[in-house]
A and B are shown apart, each in its own frame.
Chain A
Amino acid sequence: MSLIAARGLSVRYGGVTALEGVDFTIAPGEIVTIIGPNGSGKSSLVRAILGVVHPTAGQITRRAGLRIGYVPQKLAVDARMPLTVRRFLSLPTRRDRDEISAMLGRVGVPDLHDRQMTALSGGQFQRVLLARALLAEPELLILDEATQGLDQRGTASFYQLIEQVRQETGAAILMVSHDLHVVMSASDRVICLNGHVCCQGQPHVVTAAPEYRALFGYGTHGTMALYQHAHSHDHDGCAHDHDPAQPLPETADAE
């Protein structure tokens, strides 16, 4: 049974339609990447899945008792509230020191315990958010543009970490990205969203093509893949720029 199932999901804010008739499911252990241009409703879909916004039409069902780990796109911690990393990781459930140490080590920022949240760099902050999400032992991990602000090397190691999490815990992963072409190669499914589902499919690994090796750099260890959109450029609202700088070479399926 799927963890999340949405049928005919529509979300409107006032008169503005963010999502229209979206069907979406994610199965246990599955990695789904959602891509789409700015304003395509990606965050609305995530917020509907979390239950923060209520659908104006359609329905969304979560498996009963589903544990969700959520890494938001951004989080503004106000300097008026003193908050150490350790205290943040204990919200809302108290975690003991060892548990927190182990998790901070795992996400690659072992020495941040007593640092104030407002004193973290962008990359450290993302990793602390991930640590908090993982402490909940999620069955579904939702990452909303979690690699924003990371360079390519940082993104690659973040993807590796996520893949590792899936292998070790079997958590399903829902990743949201505004990059229309380069996705995490471990994605089982890529959904292109622009108010509605434009197309979905599997990513294409690019390790074989030397020109893309050059484009992606060599430190990415095959964590990134290309997604080839299957819809024409001018059909109902999906006319975003699909073409990378060069024509696509022969690609191999990720499987």
Chain B
Amino acid sequence: MLSDFLIRAVLAGVAVALAAGPLGAFVVWRRMAYFGEATAHAAILGVALALGFDMSIFVGTLAAALAMALAVTQLTGRGLAVDTTLGVLAHAALAFGLVAVSFLQGVRVDLSAYLFGDILAVGRPELAVIWGGALAVLGLLAWRWNALLTVTVSEDLAKASGLEPRHERLGLTVALALVVAVAIQVVGALLIVAMLVVPAAAARPLARSPEGMALAATGVAVAATLGGLWGSLQFDTPAGPSIVVAATVLFALSLAMPRRD
């Protein structure tokens, strides 16, 4: 019989997969992988702040991820090379976060839980937060879907159609920060971007439309979550990395598929 902690782990993993599938498609289309990396690494700094100021981890990581995403948007808008800016900020956030955690006195922190996730320790309150965040991301994407696609195809065409590309980009930034905040306990800060990019990349050959790709990415993410959790129990491996391994296996299989163009 399935134990409670395992059911909670499955539910938490599926929630993250549902949000990461369609958002991951945008990350791939818009080449935001490195941007996602910077946002996810900032979450470690958020963990340190949350522990230091006795806030909830969710609020701390969300705030740090959001602040990082907005800072990157501002800096790259000023003509600094995107790649360089992200290279500086992504690693700076991680390093500052790790240093900040070590300054915390009287708190014993298991950092690996935040770096690689600790899905089997998800409790009822965390589960509610994870589902809430995932549904918020899905709602945002569904609401702005056509506008987001248009802006992704061409910002000039979007503008001519009366859309405001800045607002749509901000929406994606917020969605990304939310996914980071809910996924940190499931796969960890270091592997969140893998949950976004790998399923979407695996879904590309299966799809003929953007919607098809988002759905297929969600399917791959859910399958990887279930497969990874199963493997983790079977072989006594860490859950977060096992999920990413499962996703990568599915990606490798997708390479053998002919493109459905």
| B-side contacts of A199, CB under 8 Å | none
- Please state if B210 and A51 are interface contacts (CB–CB under 8 Å): no
Q: Would you list which residues of chain B between 149 and 205 have a CB under 8 Å from chain A?
A: 149-150, 152-161, 163, 204
Q: Is A189 located at the chain interface by the 8 A CB criterion?
A: no
| B-side contacts of A81, CB under 8 Å | 29, 152-153, 210, 213
| A-side contacts of B161, CB under 8 Å | 91-93, 136
Contact A82-B210, Cβ < 8 Å, known A92-B146, A92-B161, A94-B146: yes
- Please state if A92 and B209 are interface contacts (CB–CB under 8 Å): no
> How far apart are the CA atoms of A191 and B150 in the complex, in Å?
31
| A-side contacts of B209, CB under 8 Å | 82-84, 87
**How far is the CB of B239 from the nearest CB of chain A, in Å?**
29
- Please state if B156 and A72 are interface contacts (CB–CB under 8 Å): yes
| A-side contacts of B160, CB under 8 Å | 50, 68-70, 142
> How far apart are the CA atoms of A51 and B261 in the complex, in Å?
35
- Please state if A119 and B149 are interface contacts (CB–CB under 8 Å): no
Q: Which listed residue (B29, B149, B204, B207) contacts A92, Cβ 8 A? A: B149
- Please state if A119 and B157 are interface contacts (CB–CB under 8 Å): no
Q: Is B82 located at the chain interface by the 8 A CB criterion?
A: no
Q: Is A235 located at the chain interface by the 8 A CB criterion?
A: no
User: Which A residue's beta carbon lies closest to that of B149?
Assistant: A91
Q: Is A63 located at the chain interface by the 8 A CB criterion?
A: no
> How far apart are the CA atoms of A90 and B260 in the complex, in Å?
21
Please give the number of chain B residues whose Cβ is less than 8 angstroms from any Cβ of chain A in the complex.
27
Q: Which of A68, A78, A80, A136 has the most CB of B within 10 A?
A: A80
- Please state if B261 and A116 are interface contacts (CB–CB under 8 Å): yes
Q: Is B87 located at the chain interface by the 8 A CB criterion?
A: no
- Please state if A93 and B29 are interface contacts (CB–CB under 8 Å): no
Please give the number of chain A residues whose Cβ is less than 8 angstroms from any Cβ of chain B in the complex.
31
User: Which B residue's beta carbon lies closest to that of A47?
Assistant: B156
- Please state if A70 and B204 are interface contacts (CB–CB under 8 Å): no
| A-side contacts of B156, CB under 8 Å | 47, 50, 52, 70, 72
Q: Is A208 located at the chain interface by the 8 A CB criterion?
A: no
User: What are 23 A-to-B residue pairs whose CB atoms are below 8 Å?
Assistant: A50-B160, A70-B156, A72-B154, A72-B156, A72-B157, A80-B204, A81-B153, A81-B213, A82-B208, A82-B210, A82-B260, A83-B153, A87-B209, A87-B210, A91-B149, A91-B150, A91-B153, A92-B147, A92-B150, A92-B161, A93-B161, A116-B208, A136-B161
Can you add 17 more A-B contacts, CB < 8 Å, to A82-B204, A91-B146?
A: A50-B159, A51-B159, A68-B160, A70-B160, A72-B157, A75-B154, A77-B153, A80-B28, A80-B29, A82-B210, A82-B260, A83-B210, A84-B208, A87-B209, A87-B210, A92-B150, A94-B146
